[in-house]
Structure 1
Amino acid sequence: MTSLRLLPPSAHLHESWLRNTEEWDGADQQGASVFLADKYGWDLKSPKDFSRWVRLLNDLADTQHQPPTGFVNQCTLWLERDEEYLGAVSLRYALINDFLQVVGGHIGYGIRPSARGEGLAAQALKAILEVARTRGMRQVLLTCDDSNIGSAKTIVACGGRLERILPVEELAAQFGSVAPVRRYWIDL
């Protein structure tokens, strides 16, 4: 078995990414930025649309590239081992709206359900924190649902300090949230 690699998104992982999607069973793939494909109506089962999405994800890492309205430049890395997609981690360079400032945060990550429990989330988070450092960022905001104990432990293990837990009542009207959200800061 080869070692884990964190790489920019690549269209050659299309089939593996599709198998990964089946494992999520319709749940949001945190960190993968699937919402960008949704914005354009791209069907990620299509190799052509998947390639468009991969190209957009890679373009967004370059601050010279203008992101779609309402979105920000970000660096996305995919976790891959033996040509198998295992998850994603993304770093937003700026928090330009209330949603990102309160609920979204700078960093999102998600690990394929069959690959959880191997410490991959911590490896991905540590790698993207290095990207944030090289960009000169001083601190980053991470959030997770209050019930996501695994993510909370990962964030704390990587230096996160809990700012507070936002109750549903505070989130529901503005963001439609149905779960309390934990807000963590990591100083870089």
Structure 2
Amino acid sequence: MTITLIRPTADLFDSWAEAVAEFGSAHIDGSGLQAPVTPDRATLDALVAKAEELADTSTEPADGLVHNDLYWIVDGGEVVGFLSFRHRLNEWLSEVGGHIGYAVRASRRRQGYASAALRLGLDRAREIGLDRVMLSCDDDNVGSYRTIEGAGGVLQDVRDQSERGHPLLRRYWIAL
């Protein structure tokens, strides 16, 4: 297993389309996509442009957005998941999203991909000079909170976020 984080690219269209299709109509954390998603060339082209725009720190992002590195979690040329690294928190992200969001396709879960990708995301946070990062996950997502805790996450609280589209949400901080 050789895990890398790469920016969205048309070079891996088929693997990306398979990964997106595997999620079905569900929201895909860390992907930069809004559900439901049609995994076609037009969607990928728009995602590549969006990823370039959000990562460009020479310009200010649109209102309500922050600079954001969108990555695909790749193993040997296969897109196995997605990771989003947000450079700072706005009001929404400080309540719900955090600095890092990720998702691994169902057929690749419980194989260490989320842990490896999170380590790489934490490396990126160190690169830009953050001292700590916030992550969140649904309270019933045992795999995700174990991944966060395994990376040094300290639980801040568990909140009812139903008015924001989430049930109980666990919020963690990881010191870098």
After TM superposition, is the score higher than 0.5?
yes
Q: Determine the structure 1 residue equivalent to 2:42.
A: 48
Q: Which amino acid aligns with 2:86?
A: R
Q: Determine the structure 1 residue equivalent to 2:22.
A: 23
Q: SS at the partner of 1:34?
A: coil
2:135 to 116, 128, 142: 142
Q: Determine the structure 2 residue equivalent to 1:93.
A: 87
Deviation at 1:44, TM superposition (A): 4.8
Give yes or no for the alignment of 1:129 onto 2:122. yes
Q: SS at the partner of 1:131?
A: helix
1:57 to 34, 51, 56: 51
Change (3 A) 1:104 1:131: same
Q: Which amino acid aligns with 2:157?
A: R
Find the aligned partners of 2:31 and 2:59 in 1 and give their Cα distance: 19
Q: Which amino acid aligns with 2:5?
A: L
Find the aligned partners of 2:42 and 2:22 in 1 and give their Cα distance: 22
Q: Determine the structure 2 residue equivalent to 1:67.
A: 61
* Structure 1 segments (4+ residues) deviating >6 Å: none
Q: SS at the partner of 1:129?
A: helix
Q: Which amino acid aligns with 1:86?
A: V
Q: SS at the partner of 2:94?
A: helix
The answer as to whether partners of 1:140 and 1:185 remain within 8 angstroms in 2 is yes
Cα deviation, 1:31-78, whole Å, max 9, x if unaligned, reads: 11103x98xxxx753313412311321332221133233111111221
Unaligned runs of 5+ in 1: none
Superposition CA RMSD, Å:
1.9
How many residues get paired?
A: 176
The answer as to whether partners of 1:44 and 1:50 remain within 8 angstroms in 2 is no
Q: Which amino acid aligns with 2:17?
A: L
Give yes or no for the alignment of 1:187 onto 2:175. yes
Deviation at 1:109, TM superposition (A): 0.5
